Each structure stands twice: as C-alpha cells, then as structure tokens.
Structure 1
Amino acid sequence: MEKRKWPWKKKSSERSGGESESSESISSHSERFSDEQQEAMREAANDNTQSPEVTSKTTTADEEVKENVKSLTEKLSAALVNVSAKEDLVKQHAKVAEEAVVGWEKAENEVSALKQQLEAAVQQNLSLEVKNSHLDGALKECVRQLRQARDEQEKRISDALMEKSREWESTRAEFEQRILDLQAEAEAARAENSACVDPHTLFILETLEKENSSLKQELASCCKELQVVTIERELSTQAAETASKLQLESIKKVVKLEAECRRLQSIARKSSPLSSHKSVDASSFHAESLTETGERLHAVDINSCKASSTEANGSELGCLDTKSLVSHSLEIDMLDDFLEMERLAAMPETKSNAPFAAPESASGEPSLDNPLRVELDSMTRRVADLENVLEKTEAERLELQNALDKTIDSLKAAQSRIEDAEIRLEEMQNELIAVYEIKESLEFQLSTTEVESRTLSSSVDSLKSEIEDQRKLSAELTKKCEGLENELTSTIQESELRHIRLEEMHNELTTVYEAKESLEFQLDTMEVESRTLSSSVDSLKAEIENERKLSRELTKKCQELENELTKTIQESELQQSMHSNSELKVKQEDLAIAADKLAECQKTIASLGMQLQSLATLEDFFIDTSNIPGFSKDPLRSDTAEEVHRLPSNGTFVPNCDSGYPGISVESYSHLPNGNKDSSISSSSSPSSTNHVTATKNWNSFGKFFSRSKSVVEHENGQE
C-alpha cells in the first residue's frame, strides 16, 4: 500500500533543534529583562527612600506576588505529575499503535499472498472444470456405447439360450423315454427271475437262515462254556498237583508209622513172654490196620486223581469245586490224625527207656502193658474213624463219577447237534450259492442297463458342456462389460477425485476468506483501539485546554505584575528626584526581589512550555497512524483547515486568531522565516512578548497534534 507523508511532518531532530533555539532565545530575553528590571529596581530604590507610602504598596504587592507564586508552583507541580502520567499512557498507546501497524502490514502481506493463491486456485479450478466437462462428455459417450453393446449381447444370449433350451428339452424327453423303457425291461426281468425261483425253496432258505442264526448263538454259548470248562480244568490240575504232593507226604508218614510199628513189635518181643504174646497180637493187629489204612489212603489218592481228571474233562456244574474242596479237607484231617499217631508213637519211646535198662526185673512189666493198651485202643478208634471217612469219600466219588458221565453224555449230544447243524449249513450254503448266481445274472443285466444309461448321460454331459461353453461366452461378454464398467467407474472416480480436489480448493478458499475475515476483525479491533486512543487523546485535549487556561491565567497575572512593575518603575522614576538615596535603595531592593520572583515565574512558565512541547511528541504517533491504509486514502476534512493554517515556508501550522489565546497574532510569525528564530525579537519588547512567543510555539505544536487527531477521528467516522 502507498504510504503518504504528511506535508507538515517534521523530523524530531529539526523540532528538537527549533525548541532548543526557542528556549535559548527565551532565556536570553529573560536575562535581558531581568537585568533591566534590576537596574530599574535600583533606581526605584533610590527614589523610594523619599516616599514611605510607595514602600508600603510595594510590600503588599510583593506579598500578593509570593502567594500567587506559591499557588502557581503547587498547580504546576500537580500539572507536572498529571503530565508525566499522561506521557506514560501516551508512550504505551504509541507502542500499541506501532504493534498494530506492524500487524496490519503483516496482515496485508498475508492477504496479498492469499489473493495470489486464490487467483491461482481459481485458474486451476477453471481448467479442471473444463477438463471435467470434456471427461463428462466422453463418459456419456462410453456409457451409451456400453448400453448398446450390452443390449445386443443380451439379445444374442437370450436367443442362444432359447435354442439350447429347446434342444435340451427334446433330448431330455428322449432320454426319459429310454429310461422308462429300460426300467420296464428291468422290472420284467425281475419278475421272470422271481417266477423261476420257487416259494418253497425261499421259505426253506428263510428257515435255514433262522436255524443258522440260532445255531450260531448256541455255538457262541458252547464256546463260552468250553472256556469255563478249560478254566475249571486248569484249576483241577492245580488241585491234583497239590493232592499228589500231599499224598506223597502221607505215604512218607505211613512209612514212618510202619517203621515205628516194627520198632514197637521188636520192643514187645523183648518183653515178658505173656505180655509179649499179647503185645505181639495187638501190635500185629495195629500194624495190619495201619497197612490197611495206608492202602486205603493210596487207593483214595488214586481215585481222587482219576476224579480230578474226569472233572477236568466233563464237569459243567459248580458243585464239583465244592466237593473237591471237601475231599481235600478230609485228606487234611487224615494227615492230622497221622501226625497225632506219630506224636503218640514218640511218647512211648521216652517211656520205654527204663524197661530197656532193666529188662530182667519183674516189677516193670505191668507198667509197660497199660500205656500200650491205651495207645492201641486209641489207634483202633482212629482207624475206625478213618474207615468211616473213606466210605464217605467213596460215596462222594461215585456221585462225582455219575455227574461226570451225565456231562459227557450231554457233550456228546451237543456235538451230534453241532454236526447236524454243520450239515444243514452246508446245504444252505449250496442253496445260497445258487441264489447268488441268479443275483449275478440279474446284476449283469442291470450293468448293461447302466452302460446304456451312461451313454445317455454322456450325451447329456456333452449337451451340458455345450451349454457351459455358451455360458462361458456369456461370462466373457459379462467380463468385458464389467471391464468397461470398471473403466467407467475409474473415470468416475477420477472425476470424483477432481471434484474432491475442487472442494478442497474451495475449502482452502473458505479458510482464506475466514483468515481474511479474522484479519478484518483484527483491523476492526485495531480501529476500536484507535478510537479508544482518540477518546483518550480527547481527554488529554481537555486536560491540555485546562492547562492552557491555567497558563493564560498565569500570563494574565504576569502581565498585571509587569504592568504594576512598569507603573512602579515610572513612579519611581518620577519620584527619584523627590526621595532620598536611602529610600531609593529600599525600593531598588524591593524591585530586585520582585524581579527575582518574576524570573522564577518566567522559569516555571518556560518549564511548563517545555513540558507542553514534550506532549507534542504525540504528533509522531498520529503521523505513524497515517501509514495505516485506511487512514491515508481519504483527504483531510475541511474542519481541520478551519482550525489550522499551513505556512508556505516551512510547513508549520498557526492557529486562528479567534482561538482565545491573548496577545498572539499572525503578524508576529510573518517576521520569522522558519518559525523558530525567536532571537530576532528586539530587546525593546516587553517580557510578555517572550512568553507569548513560547506560548505560540506550544500552540503551534498542539495545533498540529489536534488537527491530525481530528482528521483521524473524522476518517474513522466516515468509514463507519
């Protein structure tokens, strides 16, 4: 954006140089005026020595001047404090304004870049729209061609399908008729085969099959029984082995008993002849009984072995095991009896040692007979018990043999039945073989019919293959159509992608517009801040006007004091000839004091002028605001021209004559070629002229400031 420079803008160095020159000129004028006043006061002091009334007037005037000076100093101190605070605010506002200007420039640069991007995006959008229109036309043509090709292919496919369906229906009807004929032939062949087979033979076959199944069940049960018998046989063999072992042990024991009996017989023979005869008879009897019992036991063992063998061959009942256990228990009892006999036989040996030591004594003979008789009686009793046991065992053995015979007979009958069943099975197998042969002939006929049906199915398969070929052709055509459709979809997707890109560009444009709006909003906020600043400047204007009023009052008071001083000087000059030198000295001292006070007042006024000129630095801020784009376009209003007049020489402004500032005219500036040469004022002018010059300088700077601020505010109002 274009940056316009205000024609009245000055550099800070020039302004500071002008201000320094003006301050130097003011100080030189004040020094001259103070020297003149001191001389006048000295002369007046020489004159006032003669008049006491004049001295009283001057003292009252000095007191009033002191009070006025005190009040003015207090007001000036308060004004200085306010001015310093306002200067700080102005500096802050100046910084904010500079930042706002920098942000505005950045925003302008961004807006320009975004505008360029927008233009490029719009151009791309236009080119893409042109391409999209061309692609849409091409897509429409492709779609039209695809529709035509699809319609033609559908017509061809429908015609081919109609023809093939007709051919298929005709061939299907032929094959169905052939299948029906073959089924009728097969049923006739089955009826012939069923007529060839007699129902009697079929009934016989069924009965034989039932008998075969029952015989199979009987065989299974017999097998289970045989397994049980084999188990029992094994158990019986084990029992026989144990019995044989026990028999051997019993035989050994019997042999021992026989040996003992013989030993006893020999002992008895050595005894007395009478007792010997009796004992021999008893011992012989007992020996015979023992031998008989041993023989019987041996026979029982043999019979038990035979019974165990017969039991192993044909036992079917569980009672055999119990009986064998009973026999074993009896044998064990017998063995226990033999052991007791051995114990008894061992006892007389111990007792018979004494008779052998004295065989010739007659007193020991009756003692030997009594135990032998007791033993013989016990032995006879036991032998009788053993005979009873043997009889019982023989009866049990006979019962066992009878049971074994019965089981053997039943086994023989079962074997005969099994043989008969095997014969019947062979006959049934022969009949089944004949039936299987008939069945094979029927299966051959069925295989021939199946071959014919396979030929028919092969022809059907050929027709199906032709139909599949047609379907493949239709599938290829559909694939081609799908390829064309895929191409269409790809083109459509490309167009959609382009549309998406266009939408993205639109979104970017919207974001750019939003950024622009945000920047505009920031500008609005900056304008609002500038308005607030202008309002603060207006408040500062009001305060400055108040200070101006105070300065005007001070200038008026100074003028009054100067007038009074001039009057007093004139009076002192008139009364110099009338008063004495002492009074003149007093008056001169009073005038010197008044001149010092006036000099102090002038210094305070000059310092106020400098502070007011420091407020003129706000001009730089509003000159910088002229760089803002919205503030540099419109021309200045005519209202500012009414208040401020531009000088052609140096670009400074002079306020109007009706501004209310006393003692200041435009003619005073016509003698100043650059507006800053205050030293050209003649020394004959009054001290008030110097004050007026400083006031006009301050007013010039503030005139510039207020004229520019008003133009800025009016420009903002115009934009609103």
Structure 2
Amino acid sequence: MLDDKATDDVKSLKEKLVDALSQIRLKEDSVKQHAKVAEEAVSGWEKAENEVLAMRQQLGAVTQKNSALEDRMAHLDCALKECVRQLRQAKEEQDQMINDAVCKKTQEWESLKSEFQSEVDYHSIQHKNAKAEVAAFMERVPDLQSNLDALFTENLNLKLELLSLTEEMKIRISERDYCIQAAETASKQHLESSKKLAKLEAECLRLRSLARKAALFNDNRSATASSIFVESITDNQSDCGDKVILLEADLCKMGILEPKETEPGCYDSTSHAFVPEIGKYENEKAHRQNLVDTHVEIDLMDDFLEMERMVSVPDPESEIAFVPVKSLAAQPNPLEVTLKAELQCMINRAAEQEEKLEHVEALYTEVNNALSECQKKLQTSQTKLNKTEEKLEDVKTLNAEVNCALVECQKQLEISQTKSKEYEEKLVELKMQLALTNESRQAAEELAKAASAQKKVAEARLVNVEAEKESLLVTVRFLEGEIEKERSLSAEKLVRCQILEEELSRTKTEVESKEKALLAEYLVKCGNLEDELLKTKTELNQATSKMAAREFKVDQEKELEIAAQQFAECQKTIASLGRQLRSLASLEDFILDSEKSLQTSDDLSHRPEQGTDLSNLHSNKLRMPENDSELSIFQRPIIQVLYELEEAAMLHCQAT
C-alpha cells in the first residue's frame, strides 16, 4: 500500500512535475514573448524618445528661427519703410524733373520753332529776291554776251592794230637808227672835209705869204700858182663828191633814201600776244632815240653853219689876189644841199612818226580804258552772279538743313516709338515672368499643403503607434517587476523629461503668443503697405493720365531711360529682398536640420516610461506642423508686398 501510495505519489508528483515543467515552459515561452514585446516596446519607446528629442531640437530651432525672424522682420520693416520713402522721394523728384523737362523742352521747342519760322521766312524772301535778280540777270545775259563778244572782237582788232603799229614803230626805229648811223658817217666825213678845208686855208695862207713875197715877180707865176691852188681845191671837192656818192650808194643799199618802198604792207595778223610792258619800253626807247636824233641833227646843223661861215669869211689881204678862190667858195655845194634836204625830210618824217606814235598811244590808252571798263563791268556782273549763286547755295543748304532736321526728328520719333514698343514688350515679358513666379509660388504652396497632408498622415500613423504602445504597456505592467531596476534608473530621466516638457510647453506658448503678435503686427503693416501701394497706384494712374494728355514725343526717350534706371533700381531692391528671403529660408532649413540632429542625440539618452509622456509627445508633435504652417503664413504677406512693389514699379514705368 505504501508502495502503491508511493508510486501514486511519485506518479502524481511526476505528473505535477510534468505539468509544472509544461507550465514553466509555457511561462518561459510567455516570458520570452513578453521579453520580445518588452524589447519591442523599449525600441518603440526609444524611437519615441528620439522623436521627442527631434521635436525639442525643432522647438529650439523654432525659437532661434523666431528670434532671427524677429530681427529680420525689424530689418525688413526698416527696409520697407526706406523703400517706401525712396519711392515717394523718387516719385516726387521724377514728377519735378518731368515738369521741369516738359517746361524746358516746350520753351526750347517754341523758341526753335519761332527761329526756324523766321529763318524760313527770311530765306524764302531772299530766295524770291534771288530768283527775281537771277531772272533779270538772265534776261540781261544775251545783251551782256553780245556786248562781250563785240568788245572781245574790238579788243582783238585793237590788239592787231597795236601789233601792226608796234611792228611799224620797230621798222621806223630801225630806219631812224640807220639814219643816225648815216648822219654820223656824214658828220665824220664833214669833219674830215673841214679838216681838209683847214689844211687848204693853211696852204692858202702860206701861198698868200709866198704871193706877198713874190709880189715883185711876174704875173705869170702868180697865175700858175693860183691855177694850181684851184686845181687842188677841185681835187678836194671831187674827193668829197666821191665820198658823198659812196654815202648815197650805202644809204640806197640800206633803204634810207627810199623809205616808202621799204615800209611793210601787211603784218602778221595771227599774233594775239600783247604785252603792254614791251610797248611802254619801246615808247621810252623811241623817245630817247628821238632826243638823241634831234641832238645829233642840231650838232650837224651847227657844223654845217660853221663850215659855211668859215668858207664865207673873206680874207682882206687876199681879196685882190684870190678872186677865183672866193668865187669858188661862194658857189653852193650840191651835196650839201642834198644832205640838208634829206635831213629836213628825215626830220619831217620823224615828226610825222612821232605824231603817229602819239595817235597810236592815244588809241592804245583808249582801248586800255575801254578794256578796263569792260573788265570792271564783267567783274561786277561776275560778282553779282557769284553773290546770287552763293545766296542760292545758302538757301539750298538751309533747306537741306531744315529737311535733315525734320528727317532726324522723324527718325528720333520712330526710334522713340520703337523703344516704347520694346519697353512695352519688356513689360509684357516681366508680367509673364511675374505670372510664372506666381504660378511657381502657388506650386510651392501646393507642395507645402501636400507636405502638411503628409505630416497629418504621419500623425495618424503616430496615433496608431501610440495605440499599439498602450496595448503593449498593458503587457509591460506585467513586467514591471523585472524592470524596477530600469525604473529606478529612468526616474531621474523622467523628472528631467518632465522639466523639459514643461519648458517646451512654456516655450511653445511663448512662441505662439509672439508669433501671433508678430503676425498681427505684420498684417497691420501689410495692410498699411497695401494702402500706400493703392495710393501710389492711384497717383501713378493720375500721372499716366497727365502724361498721356501732354504727349511730348521728343522727351520720351530720356524719360524712358530715367524710368528704366529707376525700374532697374527697384528690381535691384526687390532682388535684394528676395535674396534675403531666400537666405532666411535656407537658414530655416539649416536650423531644422540641426534641430533634428540634436533631437536624435537627445532621444538616445532619454526614455519615457508612462503613457502620459507619450501622449504629451504626441500632442507636441501634432502642434509642430501648425507652427510650420504659421511660418508660411507669416512669409506670405512679405512676398505679396514684394510682388505689389514690382507691380507698382512696372506701373510707374508704364506711366513714364
């Protein structure tokens, strides 16, 4: 019995052991499962801690971002105020410059117009007068031409006559030279004959003395002596006659005795070169030769008179003894008579030649006077023609200048029109670019909305994960005994996490309040800016209406250049603001990335233990996208202000 009881006990114990072992195995399996679940919960908790750290980093980044945005908003506010002030100042300066330029250009245009009108009237009157003068002169041109032809022919005839007279004068001068040479030879011969007569007189005196001595001799000897003396005289006279005959022969050979046969009958009519200096020189030479000839002729006449006087003077002692000699001396010499006659003829001919020369000189002076008068008339007519031609050329040049000025004005107007069209096209392109930027902005907003939707999906997933975590926490409670050690270690961490969560909640509330206040302020500022922009738009519309009423096409080019410069300055300011916004966006992205890295590092060191902490983390994580959306809403009015500034600048350019 005992053995049976023992065996039964053993069996029951074995069964109990088997059951205990099975239960232990089941418990071990459940423990393993719970350990796995705990490990999964710990890993999820670590993930949640990492997310909490990321959220903390995001919160720090948001705080930094908010401070940076506050500073940036202050700078932007100052910049916007400065831009508005500069826009107003530029607008006032531009209006003043436009008014001054318009007044100045109107005055200049009116003065130029009046000057051009007066010049055109003056030149039209001059043109009419010049036309009348030219017509009158053209009517007189045939008469003047006929007069010129007649004067030219008369001048040619007079030149020919002068040439013929000069030739004749040359011939006469040559004849006179030959006559002078003949007279010189005759005077030489006369001197020789006078010397011979002196010798004869000496012989006569000697013979007289001999006759006186031989007075006592007979008459026969005296008669023979006188006959010998007469023979010697006749011999001397015959010698003189032979010499005179030889002279006449030489003169006949030279053509002096018959000057009429040697006179030229015709002259060269083809010679047209006439030099007045040569004529003057010939006249002076002829005058000098006339003086020399007259002087030589007077000397010859004196010599002849002396010879006659010497011959005619009788010797009182020999009157009785030399009666035949006196009779011979008293007889007239035919050669002397012929020479005297020829000399008288030559003198008469020289006087006639002088009269002819004087007549020719008078004709020459008359012809020269007529030619000078004709030349003066021609010069005056030529000067008048030149003046009229110059006046016509001046009028033509002025007309050409006026036409060129008009063409240049038309070209400038066309250029200004083309430039205005180009500016309009540029404005259209800028509008298209603005539309594209608006579309890109809308696309970015849509992307932001999509990102917010993705965030919401992630939040929903987080909610599901939290639900799973709560279910796992139920299992974790069974394992609290096993993780008491870990709780003791994590108690401090939980306290620190709570402190950090409180600080996060405080900072979130402060940031939200500050963001709301800043949003309210910037919305008010944006409203003010919109009002100012509306005012500027209305003022610009008024300026455009005023400028459209004025329509000064001449100053469009300069005004467009000024407007383009101002538009470029506005674009520069807008581009600088856009760069600042982009830099802020890049700073925000950088801050977010840095906060995420910090959160991951903090989550590894902190682990929450209770479900309340996870719910707080979930609520905080749910609020971060709202902050991101609030930041995008905060940036929108600034972008709208920038776009409105661009539109205002474009309207200003269109108005100018």
TM band (smaller chain): 0.3 to 0.5
- When the two structures are superposed, what TM-score results if normalisation uses the length of structure 2? 0.36
- When the two structures are superposed, what TM-score results if normalisation uses the length of structure 1? 0.33
